[in-house]
Amino acid sequence: MTLAVHKVSIEVANYNLDATLDCGQAFRWTRLSGGGWQGVAHGCFAEFAPAAPGGLSVEVLAPTTRLDWLADYLGLTLDYAAVMATFPKDPAMKAAVKSCRGLRLLRQEPWECLASFILSSVKQITQIRAGIERVCRAFGEFRPIGTEGPGFYTFPTPAQLASASEAALRKCGLGFRAPHLRAAARAVADGKLDLEDLRGLACAEAREELVALNGVGPKIANCVLLFAFGFQEAFPVDVWVARALRELYFQGRAVPLAELEQFSANHFGPYRGYAQQFLFHYMRKHHDASKPPQEVA
DNA sequence: TTCCAGGTATTAC
DNA sequence: GTAATACATGGA
């Protein structure tokens, strides 16, 4: 049998697939042994791979007729060089960019992004991935890839999760996040929260809508505002970013969160959400090697 | 065993 | 107003 494959080459300079798909903004991508990645987005099963000299090879294996989401999802609609040029030129920011040059912000689907980050609180990234995979297998829809082979699961819709019992959600290992996910799914499924409407709002107004959900505070709201809606001024401050800011800009002092937020709003420019993702990934990479990125004076 | 993980909501000063 | 604490679960 033959497998219909839609394969396209995207010419793009300076795209770091590893950093982009492994930096904790999306959770359904898996690294392949050959250097590529495979996963699910927009209801499609796709594979991405770097293609020399400066490009990406993209295959959408199922359904093969849908390619329209790729450019936006991969973050190619933003002028990357222009974004980088707005970053502050201090040594810490330069080091963060150098450590993962070519990292892009994806533009994700709002519901999957919101649901994923509701499940993210006080969990390790590997645990978030595992939990999301269990949720997809339990409540998403199975879709075949070709006529044989494994297939994949879609991310469950708000309606699919809204009709799940809390006990069934807890079986996915979601812990105290299970009722939060269920309530958010109900709000969206019932039309009380229209995520598409948030696109038309100012960032602060959209944030107010999101934090009205139980289990969604400023950090998770900022992740959704940045990763799904593209509000570049949204600056999620989690334990890693807080650590990065304190160590790199405040000599390791115990600076309160409010002061960190004020500093970031003033220091990192109009694309500070993008800058934040470099700081986050930089900090995590160096921590994994148990080597601090910079000596604290 | 104890501690911590891309936080948040509640309660205590 | 700011500072502790509980919240589920699993891995280091």
> Average pLDDT over chain A, rounded to whole?
94
| The pLDDT of residue A1 is above 90 | no
How much is the average pLDDT of A5-30? 94
Find, among A273, A292, A282, the residue nearest to A97 by Cα: A282
Q: Cα(A188)–Cα(A159) distance, rounded to whole angstroms?
A: 8
- Identify nearest nucleotide to residue A210 by CA to C1′ distance: B8
Asked if residue A221 keeps its beta carbon closer than 7 A to nucleic acid strand B, the reply is yes
> Is the separation of the CB atoms in A292 and A247 below 8 Å?
yes
Helical packing angle, A218-227 and A203-211, nearest 10°: 130
pLDDT in tens, A60-115: 999 988 899 999 999 999 999 999 999 999 999 999 999 999 999 999 999 999 99
- Known catalytic residues of A? 219
**Tell me, what's the pLDDT at A2?**
52
Find, among A80, A84, A47, A76, the residue nearest to A64 by Cα: A47
pLDDT band at A294 (very low <50, low <70, confident <90, very high): very low
Cα A266 to Cα A24, A88, A107, A126: the distances in Å are 25, 10, 25, 33
Q: Cα(A185)–Cα(A296) distance, rounded to whole angstroms?
A: 44
Q: How far is the CA of A256 from the C1' of B5 (A)?
A: 21
**Tell me, what's the pLDDT at A296?**
30
| The pLDDT of residue A196 is above 50 | yes
**Tell me, what's the pLDDT at A227?**
98
| The pLDDT of residue A297 is above 50 | no
Q: How many CA atoms lie within 13 A of A116 on its CB side?
A: 26
